[in-house]
Amino acid sequence: AQRVTQPEKLLSVFKGAPVELKCNYSYSGSPELFWYVQYSRQRLQLLLRHISRESIKGFTADLNKGETSFHLKKPFAQEEDSAMYYCALSGRPTSGSRLTFGEGTQLTVNP
Amino acid sequence: DGGITQSPKYLFRKEGQNVTLSCEQNLNHDAMYWYRQDPGQGLRLIYYSQIVNDFQKGDIAEGYSVSREKKESFPLTVTSAQKNPTAFYLCASRGAPQANYGYTFGSGTRLTVV
């Protein structure tokens, strides 16, 4: 079974402050981890995935297999970062693997 | 418009009625998925299909049915057996993982029981 947990439903920070959205997972194999973002009135979109090891909009996320975590971080939050963030896991390596989502964290960046 | 289209955007259903939500993609993706999004519960998988004429139940399949007769289409029927159908429904598709394709989502259908 695969499971994703996002312990914080709501997170509020001030502009310019660092932000960390937590994500923990359980999966017996080698997972593929993603962060998705949903801005107000927009469709869910991919923010980043661990296999790409990229930084998107200043966000980074490192897969920690020992702690089974994939926390999303940004050193200086911006007001436009306010959105709902979902951590997701897909089993590998099969085509069409199901994607399991966490409950989501609503991030609010205050001016 | 993103390659995956859901319709209608809003749908109202009377008690005891079946309704069908449309999902069409022109991305040539093999796999397609239906999720239900409820506040505080994230996205939960209803059904998914890895290939034409084949589909599997997700975590909350009861009261729903799907078909996959064409690669580009994966309609979801919400039957009268679904006790709490009011929700936001999202369709997604994915190409081959080895090509580093992610999942693409539609803009969703909001279903309300009246």
In chain A, what residues touch B42 (CB-CB under 8 Å)? 6, 86, 101-104
Alpha carbon of B95: minimum distance to chain A alpha carbons (Å):
8
In chain A, what residues touch B98 (CB-CB under 8 Å)? 93, 95
Query: What is the per-residue pLDDT for A95?
Result: 43
Asked if the model's pLDDT at residue A8 lies above 50, the reply is: yes
Most A CBs within 10 A among B43, B71, B88, hence the mutation to make, goes to: B43
- Residues B54/B68, Cβ–Cβ less than 8 Å: yes
Q: Is A41 on the interface with B (CB under 8 A)?
A: no
Asked if the model's pLDDT at residue B98 lies above 80, the reply is: no
In chain A, what residues touch B96 (CB-CB under 8 Å)? 95
Mean per-residue pLDDT of chain A? 89
With CA atoms as reference, report the closest residue to B58 among B11, B91, B20. B91
Query: What is the per-residue pLDDT for A94?
Result: 52
For residue A91, CA distances in Å to A72, A99, A105, B80, B105 come to 20, 8, 22, 33, 19
In chain A, what residues touch B93 (CB-CB under 8 Å)? none
Task: Tell me the CA end-to-end span of chain B in Å, nearest whole number.
Answer: 30
The proportion of chain B whose per-residue pLDDT surpasses 90, expressed as a percent, equals 66
More confident residue, B96 or B19: B19
CA dist., res. B36 & res. B58, Å (int): 11
Q: Is A78 on the interface with B (CB under 8 A)?
A: no
Q: Which residue has the tokens 């990229």?
A: A54
Please work out, in degrees rounded to the nearest 5, the angle formed at the alpha carbon of residue A100 by the alpha carbons of A96 and A103.
155
CB contact under 8 A, B97 and A32: yes
With CA atoms as reference, report the closest residue to A85 among A3, A20, A17, A18. A20
CA dist., res. A62 & res. A84, Å (int): 20
Q: Which residue has the tokens 């004429």?
A: B53
Query: What is the per-residue pLDDT for B42?
Result: 85
CA dist., res. A51 & res. B11, Å (int): 38
Query: What is the per-residue pLDDT for B2?
Result: 53
Other Cβ atoms within 10 Å of A18 Cβ, number? 10
pLDDT in tens, A45-101: 889 888 777 778 999 998 898 999 999 999 999 999 999 999 999 876 554 568 889
CA dist., res. B26 & res. B112, Å (int): 28
DSSP designation for A66:
T
Mean per-residue pLDDT of chain B? 89
pLDDT in tens, B37-62: 988 788 999 999 988 999 999 999 99
Q: For residue B101, give every residue at least 6 positions away whose Cβ sits within 8 Å of its Cβ, in sequence order, or none.
A: B29, B94, B95
CA dist., res. B38 & res. B36, Å (int): 7
Chain B, nearest residue to A5 by Cα: B42
